[in-house]
A = this chain, B = another copy of it.
Amino acid sequence: MERIDTLLANHPQRPPDPSMIAAGVAACYECGNLSVASSDACLAEPRVAELVCCIRTCLDCSDVCLATARVVSRLTKPSPMLVEAQLMACAEACRICAAECEIHAAMYEHCRVCADACRACEQACRALLHGAP
């Protein structure tokens, strides 16, 4: 069991389904974190000029995923409308970044890994939006 599961399960707000929230939060954090390393790997490629769009979408993705993870992991006095709006922005950021990374996935393994994390996060955001596991 991951630490974030244990922590949210012991949050004084006692959320009805802490493990589902923890899964969404973990997906956002992983994607946000990977996007930083992935943009840096693109930056070091000799053909960096072909990866400009990929670097930019990764940087956006890292910022949006991080903000989303932080907002969703706060269970004290939540604002459902903000959570929803931020999850929608995050799903969009991940969709765009995944589509861009997939273009380069066959050539660069780091792009493939990032694309996978983006798709997983997009799905996790949509799951939280629709209240389904």
Closest B residue, CB atoms, query A26: B33
Query: Does any Cβ of B come within 8 Å of A48's Cβ?
Result: yes
A interface SS class: helix
CA distance A70 to B38 in the complex (A): 11
- The answer to whether B40 touches A75 (Cβ under 8 A) is yes
CB-contacts of A106-120 with B (<8 A): 108-110, 113-114, 116-117
| Residues of B contacting A88 in the complex (Cβ-Cβ under 8 angstroms) | 85, 88-89
| Residues of B contacting A57 in the complex (Cβ-Cβ under 8 angstroms) | 77, 79
Query: Does any Cβ of B come within 8 Å of A132's Cβ?
Result: no
| Residues of B contacting A96 in the complex (Cβ-Cβ under 8 angstroms) | 79, 81-82
With A77-B57, A92-B82 known as contacts, the answer to whether A110 contacts B37 (CB < 8 A) is: no
CA distance A102 to B28 in the complex (A): 28
| Residues of B contacting A67 in the complex (Cβ-Cβ under 8 angstroms) | 63-64, 66-67
CA distance A30 to B6 in the complex (A): 13
